[in-house]
Amino acid sequence: MLNTILKYTGLFILLLAIQLLLLNNIQFSGFVNPYIYILFILLLPFETPSWLLLILSFATGMVMDISSVTHGLHTSATVFAGFLRPYVLNFVAPHEGYEQGDLPGIKAYGFRWFITYVIIIVALHHFFLFYIEVFKFEYFFRTLLRVLLSTGFTLMFIVIVQSVIIRR
């Protein structure tokens, strides 16, 4: 139990460091803003109770908001993603269901399962995040393009990070 908490604290710090020090400084013409910190919510164990998931999402979003001066923006999007995670997990569940003690990852359920799961959550999160950020329908298609491009890039970074973590 303690071991798990330590492991996830490490993951949390690692992801936020990558996000804040590296990805937040990337700028390709304003259309690509990958947000990899959502991977923390994605990788929590299957048995995590929903309320804990929501609280952790809230905390993650708060840390992001405080360190990038966007009040409540990341919090609302991450809580949204955390709320939908159990439903998405049900939706993409393999026939046999999930094994007790397994972690959501490429190792346990394969590349295709992982990608489907990640795409759904990341797309929902980014969709919510970018539309709340703009808060205008005036820029509907421009924002949609940003959502799609950023989802693609986040996915790419998540696969890279996930394949590195598996080795550990």
Partner 1 sequence: MRSLLNFLKKFGNVLLFILLELIAFYLLAARPNYHNIKLTKAINATKAAMRKKINNAVDYFSLSDINKQLVRENEELKNTLQRIYKSEELTTFNVTDSIYRQQYVYISAAVVNNSVNKQKNYITLDRGRLSGVKEDMAVICPEGIVGIIVEVGRNYSIAMSVLNLEFRLSARLSKNGYFGSLTWDGGNVNSLILKEIPNHVNVSVGDTVETTGYSAVFPEGIMIGTISDFDERGGDFLDIKIQPSTDFRKLSNAYIIANLKKDEQLKIESGIQGTR
Interface residue list for partner 1 (CB under 8 A) = 24-27, 29-31, 33, 50-51, 54-55, 57-58, 61, 65-73, 75-76, 79-80, 83, 130, 132-134, 136, 139, 142
CA distance 116 to 104: 12
Query: Which residue, 73 or 123, has its beta carbon nearer to partner 1?
Result: 73
Residue closer to partner 1 (CB basis): 40 or 109: 40
Rounded CA separation 63/55 (Å): 12
CB of 59 to partner 1, least distance (A): 10
CA distances in angstroms from 52 to 59, 111, 123, listed in the order given: 10, 27, 22
What is the smallest separation between the CB atom of 14 and partner 1, expressed in angstroms? 19
**Nearest CB to partner 1, comparing residues 49 and 101:** 49
In terms of CB distance, is 34 or 104 closer to partner 1?
34
Distance of CA 108 to the CA centre of its chain: 19
Provide the minimum distance between the beta carbon of 47 and partner 1 in the complex, in angstroms, as a whole number.
Answer: 15
Q: How far is the CB of 159 from partner 1 (least distance, A)?
A: 22
